[in-house]
Structure 1
Amino acid sequence: MTNPLSVVIVDDQNLVRHGIRSLLELADIRVIGEASDGAAAIDVIAATNPDVVLLDLRMPRYDGLWTLENLRLRELEVPVLVLTTFNDDTLVLEALRHGAQGYLLKDVTLEQLKTAVHTLAAGGTLIAPSITDRLLRAIRSGPAPTGDTFPPADLTAREVEVLRLVAEGLNNREIAGALHLAEGTVKNHVSTILVKLGARDRTNAVLRALHEGLLR
């Protein structure tokens, strides 16, 4: 029997943290730490080493973007799922650019939250489909919300297929099953995609692909 996944919840509202904890317990996911702002979160995450961090963005003093940046500076490599009420394209892009691996709104169901935690713990990424669709529409119709540009990438048709599944939050094993490939082949494709896009990780690769219109 495998051990349940562990998470740290970072949110400035006690009631919200209590509610999320209660939901996760129903899904057999352990909450091993809580924090009400970014500074406390860094200490809790360093002390507990959770499988996933659930992070609100808008908090007093040290907010979610500050937390993401300082996780990187402290080299605390833990998957972060942004869980927020703010459905803003620019904020989504900022969170992803700061290193978040997932972005969901707080109106998600328990099953969606459970899936997201398991996806990130397995090395995948997950962005709410409504947000991804909206970003794609915005990018097709005009400039990206932040105005950033990236160099063009020459991806093969297969690499684009793999990248689309990465954007949907699938890990290498799941992508291999979907495309009938060996898992090692998928891993090689992902590595090549990262190099071609000049991306530091899977989430950053998806973000750059969105900007370049590669996922149309």
Structure 2
Amino acid sequence: MNNKTNPTIIIADDHPLVLKGLHDFLIEKEFNVLASAKNGKEALTLIKAHKPDIAILDIKMPFFTGLQIAEKCKAENIPTKIVLITFEKDEKTYYDAKDLGAYGYVLKEFALVEIENCITSVINNKPYFSPELLNFLEIHKLPENFDLLTNHEKGIVELISRNKTGVEIAELLSISPRTVEKHKSNIIKKLKLEQKQNSLLIWAKENSDLLNT
């Protein structure tokens, strides 16, 4: 990684005006923009060639989306930190981005206002997600430690909220009932629930709306 005051950056967006506006803004702010790309294929090629500190990517692009590029970088252990920009205020996309290890998620209408703070945060290893997005999705209202659950654990909790027994969950997920119980124990610890009967079932039912998004 380069020094924190002038990280290397690659940007990609299939909208020429957005790409130019973002590029010119970053150059004006004296950021070290190595290159820009107009689609996902070009972006991925540039990332592999230069391994920049940060890649600022439109989520929806031809060939590869920003999320697909994030997935490929994660699979290939490319250290570039991914920042996604989009017009979409979508909860599934937000969680997909977090699961893929994206370091930033910025709404395009606020990009020129937020991107400098985003880059500063990301280069200091602090993820940045647009406050407007978080307010829109009401992410701040999520129960404590919900984000610590893996997708697999969330799936188990969702089944619990539907009154599925441990045996039924085991059959549905093709695992042993003993493994289900281990998962339940880990989930209870992560959520810091009381170690008493039905505590996880009660929590699952109270938060079922989070589990069906």
Q: Do the structures match in fold with TM over 0.5? A: yes
Higher-Rg member (1/2):
2
Q: Is the 8 A contact 1:68 1:99 kept in 2?
A: yes
CA, structure 1 residues 108+13, in 2 after alignment: closer, same or farther (shift >3 Å)? Answer: same
Shift of 1:51: 1.7
Instruction: Could you tell me which runs of 5 or more consecutive residues in structure 1 were left unpaired when the two chains were aligned.
Output: 157-210
Q: Which residue of 1 aligns with 2:98?
A: 96
Q: Which residue of 2 aligns with 1:136?
A: 139
Structure 1: distance between partners of 2:58 and 2:111: 17
The match for 2:7 among 1, 5, 8 is 5
Q: What RMSD in Å do the two structures reach over aligned CA positions?
A: 3.1
Instruction: Could you tell me which runs of 5 or more consecutive residues in structure 2 were left unpaired when the two chains were aligned.
Output: 158-186, 193-209
Q: Is the 8 A contact 1:12 1:59 kept in 2?
A: yes
Shift of 1:45: 1.0
Matches within 5 A, 1:165-184: none
The match for 2:43 among 41, 44, 58 is 41
Matches within 5 A, 1:50-61: 50-61=52-63
CA, structure 1 residues 28+111, in 2 after alignment: closer, same or farther (shift >3 Å)? Answer: farther
Q: Which residue of 2 aligns with 1:16?
A: 18
Structure 2: distance between partners of 1:35 and 1:6: 15
CA, structure 1 residues 152+56, in 2 after alignment: closer, same or farther (shift >3 Å)? Answer: farther
Q: Which residue of 2 aligns with 1:87?
A: 89
Aligned residue type for 2:38: S
Cα shift readout 1:57-84 (whole Å, capped 9, x = no counterpart): 1112211121111111221111111111
Which has the bigger relative contact order, CA under 8 A and spacing at least 6?
Answer: 1
Q: Secondary structure at the match of 1:17?
A: helix
Structure 2: distance between partners of 1:107 and 1:138: 24
Aligned residue type for 2:132: S
Q: Secondary structure at the match of 1:4?
A: coil
Q: Is the 8 A contact 2:13 2:19 kept in 1?
A: yes
Structure 1: distance between partners of 2:67 and 2:83: 12
TM-score, normalising length: structure 1: 0.62
Percent of aligned pairs sharing the same letter: 22
Aligned residue type for 1:87: K
Q: Give every structure 1 segment of 4 or more consecutive aligned residues whose post-TM-superposition deviation is greater than 3 Å.
A: 137-140, 152-156
Shift of 1:130: 2.5
